[in-house]
């Protein structure tokens, strides 16, 4: 079945450091890929997405490229800020309707950015 | 804009008690779902609905019931709470199978 694997956390960085959070997936067909962010005490929010191979999703300085050849969707940001401290979830949606339309989430990576 | 609203935000139950977590959305979304979030486990799908009158099981449905009598509401019922159901529960909705999921703020449930 479909699955998502993302790097274990927590990740602690200094402000302005470069961020990479690795995400790889297993899926049949052509899934859509997502990164969601959860700030403390809040629900999840969509950060970015990509719906086909070689697409690059971007938002708020974060980027991720859908790499079908390596089945990866790594999240990157060139210069993190304290306000980026949150839990980041990689997610996959398989093609087709019904249950295939459900999102499958990775376990989440907690990021802490120190001033 | 209300979006997805969950109540209650916090609840403490004793083992064996029943309760309902409420979820309502005002975006006219057809698709709604319930997830639970546990440390180190990410989010796991409990039940989902693709429209009023239609529900189906997700990855971890045991111990939970749902119904969808209207487009707006998708309550999650715990019939006989167990300590293993201690978790944070999130309701989410979207407008179609390829749409962005919109999440509520979560309901933290503790079962003693």
Q: Give mean pLDDT, residues B49-77.
A: 95
- Band of pLDDT at residue A96, cut at 50, 70 and 90: low
pLDDT of residue B86: 97
Cβ contact, residue pair B41, A107, below 8 Å: yes
Whole-number mean pLDDT of chain A?
Answer: 91
Contacts of A49 in chain B (CB under 8 A): 100
Average pLDDT over every residue of B7-24: 97
* Selected residues 5-44 of chain A with any CB under 8 Å from a CB in chain B: 32, 36, 41-44
Under a CB-based contact definition with an 8 Å cutoff, are residues A55 and A67 in contact?
Answer: no
pLDDT digits (tens, 9 = 90+) for A14-52: 999 999 999 999 988 888 999 999 998 888 999 999 999
**CA-based nearest distance A22→chain B, Å:** 15
Ramachandran region of residue B22, left (φ > 0), alpha (ψ -120 to 50) or beta? beta
Alpha helices in chain A (DSSP H): none
Locate tokens 């971890």: which residue? B60
Dihedral class, residue A107 (left if φ above 0, else alpha if ψ from -120 to 50, else beta): alpha
pLDDT digits (tens, 9 = 90+) for B82-98: 999 999 999 999 987 66
User: Which residues in A lie closer than 8 A to residue B44 (C-beta atoms)?
Assistant: 105
- Looking at residue B101, the DSSP 8-state letter turns out to be P
Q: Do B85 and B68 contact (CB within 8 A), yes or no?
A: no
B17: its two tokens: 């008690």
pLDDT at residue number B54:
94
Q: Residue A103 and residue B43: Cα distance in Å, rounded?
A: 9
DSSP string for residues in A41-66:
TS-EEEEEEE-STT-EEEETTEEEE-
From CA B75, how far away is CA B6, in angstroms rounded?
Answer: 9
Residue B46: asked if its preceding bond is cis (omega within 30°), the reply is no
**What's the average model confidence in pLDDT over A69-91?**
96
């Amino acid at each position: 079945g479909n699955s998502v694997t993302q790097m274990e956390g927590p990740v602690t960085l200094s402000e302005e450091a470069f961020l990479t959070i690795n995400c790889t997936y297993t899926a049949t067909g052509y899934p859509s890929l997502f990164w969601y962010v959860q700030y403390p005490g809040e629900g999840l929010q969509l950060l970015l997405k990509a719906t086909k191979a070689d697409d690059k999703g971007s938002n708020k300085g974060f980027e991720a490229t859908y790499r079908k050849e390596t089945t990866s969707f790594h999240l990157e940001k060139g210069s993190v800020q304290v306000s980026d401290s949150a839990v980041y979830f990689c997610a996959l949606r398989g093609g087709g309707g019904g249950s295939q339309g459900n999102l499958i989430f990775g376990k989440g990576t907690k990021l802490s950015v120190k001033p | 804009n209300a979006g997805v609203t969950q109540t209650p935000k916090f609840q403490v139950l004793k083992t064996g008690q029943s309760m309902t977590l409420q979820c309502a959305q005002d975006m006219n979304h057809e698709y709604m779902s319930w997830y639970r979030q546990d440390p180190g486990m990410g989010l796991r799908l409990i039940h989902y609905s693709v429209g009023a009158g239609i529900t189906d099981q997700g990855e971890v449905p045991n111990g939970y019931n749902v119904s969808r009598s209207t487009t707006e509401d998708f309550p999650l019922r715990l019939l006989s709470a167990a300590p293993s159901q201690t978790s944070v529960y999130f309701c989410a909705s979207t407008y179609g199978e390829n749409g962005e999921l919109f999440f509520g703020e979560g309901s933290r449930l503790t079962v003693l």
